[in-house]
Amino acid sequence: MKDSNSDFRDFLSMLQSEGELLRIKQDVSAEFELAAVTAKLDGKQAVLFEKVRKSKIKVACNVVGTPKKFYLAIAGSRKVGQMDIRKAIHSRIAEALSRLAEPAKAQGGAPFENNSSRNLQDLPIVTHFEKDAGPFVTSSVVFAKDQEKGNQNQSTHRLLRLDDRHMVIRMVEGRHLHKCFTYARDHGEDLKVAIAIGVHPAVSIAAAYQAAYGVDEMLIANSLLDGKLVLAKANYSQLYVPSHAEIVLEGRIIKDRTQEEWMVEMLRTYDFKRKQPVFELERIRFRDNAIYHDILPGHAEHRLLMGLPVEAKMFDYIKNVVPTTQAVHLTDGGSNWLVAVIQIKKRLEGEPKNALMAAFSAHPSLKMATVVDNDIDLTDPVAVEYAIATRCQADRDFIIMPNAKGSSLDPSSDQVNLLTTKVGIDATASLLKAKEGFEIARIPGEEKTRLSDYV
């Protein structure tokens, strides 16, 4: 019997049963209109566009655009209970990482083998913003053989459609797919890849986790799916991809051909123009009544898919350095990527600075981090600002690190050399002063008082 939440369309059905999916039957254009409607639903319901102009394929957006939907994707039968939703996500990812297991391999044909094409125009690839270089695939999980380590690598990359058979693929220099590509190129070869679109969100989350080089992210995905992930071998590339994928593209990244590309990224600013390698399509395969997944760049689904797995990774890393770490939060103002707040139960002077150094090590793109006490709500920017204002002296509590490796997305940085200045802030109360001086005043009974009893 097929599991009720083991692929992309099953997850959409679950969202519908939860009242979290909006179906739009009106005909929409993949050029700007679809993105505009999705933007209106940012941080709200998922949306399924049932009729997209010039395509026979439906498009789903905003699929895990809230922490609740994100948790539903990896929770299985688990309930949040009284736990904060972000802590529940961190806990679930940590649990999955502790129980890695190989996915099963499909014995028969995969559903995506039912249909095929050799024309990228058959896909409803979306043009999102007015100054984008063109239509971009934004939800793709790219699979490649890591010849150096001997296993597969999976990661998420944007692809700009150029024509019927070619796309430009953005690979961050030094990241895992780029290593696979440079290894192949240095040996005079193109890199064969398979690209999955419309996978269960747990697969996308695993691909975004930034596991250590050589770790197969599908083990993480399988664990997040409680061992229900099944892989199928793609014919051309001989790579194993999720058998449930709605759409699978196979081809090669050409070793000696590049093209300029740019688009809006997580910060909702345009990434700068750069030449990137070109992907050449061999074949598209897709399920009956396939559903394409589009992620609106810079909006909630994009930021949460990238940020929450890294947030969980940071929490584990920092907690190993400062065991009393309570929580880690990548802020909305930092696009869930550049700015973090770390909550600790401080025992010793110096612990906040150790936590800061651990945070910057765990997440190299991080630009600014603040450490607060456990009586400060780290998700409330006003509370964090209050901690900086009342518990911090800049001359002793600010750490400034110039010329550190940073994010290529930050327009204020040296984007070519990936250099930025990082700032760490210790906004915890000094243990060398009387704690009463930092106590936040409370009114007895305020929490239980209901204004409706008096007016």
Q: Domain limits at 343?
A: 302-433
Chain CA centroid to CA 219, Å: 17
Query: Distance between CA 336 and CA 302 in Å, rounded?
Result: 9
Within 10 A of 439 (CB to CB), how many other CB atoms are there? 10
The per-residue pLDDT for range 29-80, each reduced to its tens digit, is 999 999 999 999 999 999 999 999 999 999 999 999 999 999 999 998 788 7
Query: Distance between CA 286 and CA 51 in Å, rounded?
Result: 17
Q: Are 141 and 199 in contact (CB under 8 A)?
A: yes
The per-residue pLDDT for range 417-426, each reduced to its tens digit, is 989 999 999 9
The per-residue pLDDT for range 265-296, each reduced to its tens digit, is 999 999 989 999 999 999 999 999 999 999 99
Assigned domain for 175 exists: no
Sequence-distant (6+) residues with CB within 8 A of 407 are 337, 338, 365, 367, 413, 418, 420
Instruction: Read off the tokens for 282.
Output: 């061999």
- Secondary structure (3-state) at 424: strand
Cα angle 137, 362, 174; round to 5: 50
Q: Is the pLDDT of residue 322 over 70?
A: yes
Residues of the chain above pLDDT 70, percent: 99
Q: Is the pLDDT of residue 1 over 70?
A: no
Instruction: Read off the tokens for 259.
Output: 């093209």
Assigned domain for 323 exists: yes
pLDDT of 452 reads: 95
Number of domains in the chain: 1
Residues of the chain above pLDDT 90, percent: 90
Output the domain CATH number for residue 358: 3.40.1670.10
Cα angle 411, 266, 403; round to 5: 40
- Secondary structure (3-state) at 306: helix
Assigned domain for 143 exists: no
Assigned domain for 319 exists: yes
Longest dimension (CA), the chain: 79
Running DSSP on this structure, what letter comes out for residue 40? Answer: H
Assigned domain for 411 exists: yes
pLDDT of 215 reads: 82
The per-residue pLDDT for range 176-233, each reduced to its tens digit, is 999 999 999 999 999 999 999 999 999 999 999 888 877 889 999 999 999 999 999 9
User: For the chain, first and last CA: distance in Å?
Assistant: 58
- Secondary structure (3-state) at 224: helix
Q: Where are the alpha helices (DSSP H) in 98-145?
A: none
Higher-pLDDT residue of 107 and 8 is: 8
pLDDT of 398 reads: 98
pLDDT of 4 reads: 62
Sequence-distant (6+) residues with CB within 8 A of 322 are 344, 351, 354, 355, 358
Assigned domain for 276 exists: no
Query: Distance between CA 447 and CA 225 in Å, rounded?
Result: 40
Q: Is the pLDDT of residue 2 over 50?
A: no
Sequence-distant (6+) residues with CB within 8 A of 82 are none
Query: Mean pLDDT score of the chain, rounded to an integer?
Result: 95
Over residues 319-343, mean pLDDT: 98
pLDDT of 82 reads: 65
Assigned domain for 328 exists: yes
Assigned domain for 390 exists: yes
